[in-house]
Amino acid sequence: MVVVLTLSREAAITVADLGEFGLIAAIQEILPPDTTAIVGVGDDAAVLPAPDGRTVASTDLLIEGRHFRRVWSTGRDIGVKAAAQNLADIAAMGAVPTALLFGLAVPADTAVTWVLELTEGLVAECDRAGAVIAGGDVTGADTVMLGITALGNLGGREPVTRRGARPGDVLAISGMVGRSAAGLAILQAGVDPASAPGLADLVAAHRRPRPDYQAGPLAAAAGATAMIDISDGLVADVGHVGAASGVRVDIEAARLPIPGLREAAALLGADWRDWALGGGEDHALAASFPAGASLPTGWLVIGTIGRGNGVLVDNRPWHGRGGWDHFPAC
Amino acid sequence: MVVVLTLSREAAITVADLGEFGLIAAIQEILPPDTTAIVGVGDDAAVLPAPDGRTVASTDLLIEGRHFRRVWSTGRDIGVKAAAQNLADIAAMGAVPTALLFGLAVPADTAVTWVLELTEGLVAECDRAGAVIAGGDVTGADTVMLGITALGNLGGREPVTRRGARPGDVLAISGMVGRSAAGLAILQAGVDPASAPGLADLVAAHRRPRPDYQAGPLAAAAGATAMIDISDGLVADVGHVGAASGVRVDIEAARLPIPGLREAAALLGADWRDWALGGGEDHALAASFPAGASLPTGWLVIGTIGRGNGVLVDNRPWHGRGGWDHFPAC
C-alpha cells in the first residue's frame, strides 16, 4: 500500500496507470482512521451510528465546467467546496454533520495527485465539520463529476424545515452573502486578486466556502422556526422558505453583512446587490426566529417575515440577478 | 402542478423548457406519497427513521456511455438499474433497503418525458425493495449522470461484511450470474433477441437486473459469515471476500445457475464461462455460510472456502475475463 501511495504522488502517474482498485487503495491510504463508523470504507455499504433513531441525509452532484473549473480551483479547493455544500445542508436542518459518502468520476488521464488532493480537501472539510468519510465509488468519465451524500445527527432536536416561518418572525443569517459570486466575477474578469485589498479573500470564498456548521444546531436549539442553506442565492433561497411556509419575506439590504463587496463591485463595474441578493454558493444559513428570541452568536437579523407571499428587498420586488437555474432558457 | 405535469409529458418539452425548479416540481409530482420519512423530498435534507440506532449507506455513480446507453435502454430501464445496484449493496450487508436519494445530471435538451420515465424506474425498483425516494438533486451536464445513495435498516442484526469467511464455510449465491453480460453481448452483436428462445430474457436481465433484496437479510439471519453484491463479476467479487477474510475461495463451475447461458454463448461464438465468472451487474448476492448451515430459500451452494488466498474455479486459477475495471489500461 505504501508503494502505491509513493508511486501515486508522482505527477506523471494517471488514474489509468493505477487502475480502479489501485486508485481506491491510494485514496483509502490517505483517509484518516475512522473511529466512529461501525463498518467504514471498503465494504458494500457503510454502517454508521444513528444514535437518536433518525438519520439526516442530503445528496448533490457537482459537474466540471458548471460547478467548478480545474483552471480556477485546485483539487483541494474542489474537495472542500463539494464537502461544504453538502455538509451545510445537514446543518440547515439543525443537525450535526456526521459522515460523507462520495462518488468520483474522472477521465482516465487524470493525475492521481489531483484525485488525492481532492480527497484531502474532502477530508479537511469533513474534519472541520466533525464528520468522517464513510464510503465512496470511483469510475471513469469524460469530465470530472462528484456525487456527494452527507449524513447527520439531530441529537434529539426536531428538524428545522423550510415550512415553519410565521408572520412576525425575524429573518436572520449566519455567515456572509455574495462573496462567492464576487470571487467568481473577479476570476471571470481576469482581474489579479492581488491588485486591490480584499479581492483575494473574495476569490478564496469562491474557491473554498467556509460554512459555520455549528450555527445550524445552535439555531435549532434557539427556536428557529425555519432554516435553509443559501446555495442558489439569498432571495431565491429565502423565497423557498416563504413559499414552503406560506409567508412573505422582507429583506433590509442595509443590514446584509457584505464586507469588501461594494469596493470589489465598484472595481469591476458590477452591482454589489446582484452578488449579495442573487449570488449563491456561500452556504451561509438563513433562518426565521420568533420575534424577541435570543439569537445565537454569529446570527444577524436582516429582515422580517410577514403575511403574503414573495420576497421584498427594501419593500420592493427584487428584479436583479435572480439566483441560479441549472437549466437557463436558451 | 398538474399543469406542469401535463405539459411535461409532451415529448417535445425539454428540461431547458421547464427549468430546474419546474423539472423538480414535475419529478415530485410523480413520486408516491412518502409515509415513512420524517422530512421527505423538498427540504435541504431528508430526515429518515433509523429505528435500531444505525444507518447502512452506500453510494454509486452511473455514467452514460459507460454504465448504460440510451439507445439500448429506456429511461425506465436505467432508473430500475440505477436503483437496483445501490439497493443490492444494502441487502449485501444483511440490511433491508429503506430509502434512496438520487442526483441527476442531464443535458438541457433532454426530453422531460425521459427524465420522468427514469424517475418512474427508480420508484418502481424502490417499491419492489420496500424503499422510498427521500431526496435528490438535478443539474445540467453534457451527458447523463446519476449519483445514487441507498440507505437501509439492519433491524437489530449484525452487519455481514466481507471479512468473516472462514475455511470450512460453504460459498453460496442467491440469484443468477452472467445474464447481464450475456444480454449486453447480444446487444453489442446486434443479434435480434427474438431470433432464438431465451435471448430476450438475457437482454432484459442486462437492462433491468432483479436482485432478491430479501435474500440479504435472510442470509444474515441464517448466519452468513461474509456477503457481497456481485457487481463486478463473480470471480472478482468473491475475490474481494477472500482478500478481506484472508481465505481462498473455490468455485465449482458446474454448480452455477446459468439457464440459457450456454445456448446463447454457442449462438454468439462466446464462452459462457466468461459471462458467468467475469460478467458483472446481475447483482446476485454471494455469501459464505458455516458448513451444515440451513440455507434460506433461493440460496444455492456453488463452492467452498479454504485456507490460502485467491479464487480457484474447478481447482484452477481463472484466466478468463476478469471482471470490470473502470480504468482499463490503454
DSSP string, B183-201: HHHHHHHT--GGGSTTHHH
According to CATH, where is 3.90.650.10 located in chain B? 170-317
Q: What is the ipTM of this complex?
A: 0.91
Element containing residue A61 per DSSP (H, E)? strand A54-63
Distance, in angstroms, between A107 CA and closest chain B CA?
9
User: Does the distance separating the beta carbons of B63 and A141 come in below 8 Å?
Assistant: yes
DSSP H or E segment with residue A266: helix A261-268
* pLDDT tens-digit readout, B256-278: 999 999 999 999 999 999 999 99
Fold classification of A170-317 (topology level): Phosphoribosyl-aminoimidazole Synthetase; Chain A, domain 2 (3.90.650)
Virtual CA dihedral for B95, B101, B106, B108, nearest 10 degrees?
160
pLDDT of residue A40: 85
For residue A197, the distance in angstroms to the closest alpha carbon of chain B comes to 35
pTM comes to: 0.92
Q: Say if residue B329's pLDDT is above 50.
A: no
Phi, psi of B197 (to 5 degrees): -60, 140
Average pLDDT, chain B: 92
Of A16, A108, A161, the CB nearest to B39: A161
Would you tell me how many other CB atoms lie within 10 Å of the CB of residue B71?
6
Q: For residue range B63-108, what is the model confidence (pLDDT) as tens digits?
A: 999 989 888 899 999 999 999 999 999 999 999 999 999 999 999 9
Cross-chain residue pair A145–B105, CB shorter than 8 Å: yes
A contacts of B58 (beta carbons < 8 Å): 44-46, 101, 135
With left for phi above 0 and alpha for psi between -120 and 50, is residue B275 left, alpha or beta?
A: alpha
Q: What is the pLDDT of residue A35?
A: 78
pLDDT tens digits along B139-174? 999 999 999 999 999 999 999 999 999 999 999 999
**Cβ B152 vs Cβ B237: under 8 Å:** no
A2-153: CATH superfamily: PurM-like, N-terminal domain (3.30.1330.10)
CB pairs below 8 Å between A and B: how many? 251
The rounded distance, in Å, linking the Cα atoms of A304 and A165 is: 10
Residue A54: the pLDDT is: 97
Per-residue model confidence (pLDDT) at position A3: 44
Q: Where in chain A is the domain with CATH 3.30.1330.10?
A: 2-153
Which pLDDT score, from 0 to 100, does residue B2 have? 40
B132-140: strand order across its sheet:
A46-49, B54-63, B145-153, B96-106, B132-140
Q: What is the pLDDT of residue B326?
A: 60
Average pLDDT estimate for B30-57: 91
Chain A residues touching residue B13 (CB < 8 angstroms): none
Kindly list the distances between the CA atom of residue B56 and the CA atoms of A87, B95, B281, in Å, as whole numbers in the listed order.
Answer: 18, 7, 21
Pairing of strands A96-106, A132-140: parallel
Residue B124: the pLDDT is 97
In chain A (330 residues long), the average pLDDT of successive 10-residue segments reads 52 88 90 85 93 96 92 93 96 97 95 96 97 93 95 96 98 96 94 94 94 97 97 94 97 95 95 94 95 96 97 89 55
Provide the phi-psi class of A311: left if phi over 0, else alpha when psi is between -120 and 50, else beta. Answer: beta
Ramachandran angles phi, psi of A316, nearest 5° = -130, 150
DSSP H or E stretch at residue A27: helix A15-30
What pLDDT digit, counting tens, does each position of B306-325 carry?
Answer: 999 999 999 999 876 655 55
Cα–Cα distances in Å, from B5 out to A161, B145, B240, B277? 26, 23, 45, 45
B180-223 pLDDT, tens digit each: 999 999 999 999 999 999 999 999 999 999 999 999 999 999 99
Note the pLDDT of residue A284: 95
Give, rounded to a whole angstrom, the gap between the first and last alpha carbons of chain B. Answer: 49
